[in-house]
Amino acid sequence: MSRPSTSARTEAPPRHVPAGAPPRTVLAEAPLGRAVAALLAVAAVTALAAGGASAAPGRPDPHGVGAGQGAPPWPAPADPSAAARAAGLEMMSAEGMVQHTHTHLDVLVDGRPVTVPAAIGIDLPRRLISPLHTHDTSGVIHVESPKRADFTLGQFMAEWRVPLAEDRIGGLHAGPGRRLRAYVNGRAVAGNPAAIVLREHDEIALVLTKDTDTRPVPASYTWSRGL
């Protein structure tokens, strides 16, 4: 199963900087109005979807208080900088260029896709960006870091403010007759899915469903040119 990227893109700083030239910052990005308009358009679509959708199946977390701790849809955090810091990520004035990879994430709850929002890790008002971020709702996670590191799915989910553990995603829990499983390129991964390392062109699927569900899970993604 594969899905091409067709969603509106939230602009970010350019990735290429001539030798000897200072990096361009988010503040210098042009045209900023187009970036804001794109983000507002995505936010409007997400809000309409949230208003007309019923809660996804699952057992809500009785202690959940954040938007990402209930049932989906899970919006992008209102304060991306605070969310990034909570995930142990440093906000930058420009995208890093030492490590540049892309990973695709699918989230399925009882067969229903959960949207990965645009602008996770992108703070437009402050003109800052995290090394882990999304530009659109395609599910593509961009890793653009000034230094090499093993960035994990758990860091991204923490930045999204959606808790992830072996038996939990957001405010939904596995239990008798229900399971949460993680897959990388179609293969089941044991242990805590938060530990999965984000690697170039991997397809990660988080699937919460009944034990008896035999539907296939996404095993690959159709990458757009340039990613």
172-173 and 168-169 as β-strands: parallel, antiparallel, unpaired?
Answer: antiparallel
Q: Which long-range contacts (CB under 8 A, 24 or more apart) does 13-21 make?
A: 13/93, 13/94, 13/95, 13/129, 14/95, 15/95, 15/97, 15/100, 15/144, 16/97, 17/94, 17/97
- Structure confidence by residue, pLDDT tens digits, 95-148: 999 999 999 999 999 999 999 999 999 999 999 999 999 999 999 999 999 999
Contact present, 227 and 104 (Cβ < 8 Å):
no
Contact present, 186 and 221 (Cβ < 8 Å):
no
The pLDDT value recorded for residue 69 is: 78
The pLDDT value recorded for residue 222 is: 96
The pLDDT value recorded for residue 28 is: 42
Q: DSSP letters of 155-199? A: HHHHHHT--EETTEETTEE-BTTEEEEEEETTEEE-S-GGG-B--
The pLDDT value recorded for residue 98 is: 97
- Structure confidence by residue, pLDDT tens digits, 42-55: 443 333 333 332 22
- Structure confidence by residue, pLDDT tens digits, 5-20: 444 565 554 444 334 4
- Structure confidence by residue, pLDDT tens digits, 168-180: 999 999 999 999 9
The pLDDT value recorded for residue 139 is: 98
Phi, psi of 32 (to 5 degrees): -65, -35
What integer best gives the mean pLDDT of the chain? 80
Contact present, 170 and 69 (Cβ < 8 Å):
yes
59 has pLDDT over 50: no
Share of the chain above pLDDT 70, in %: 70
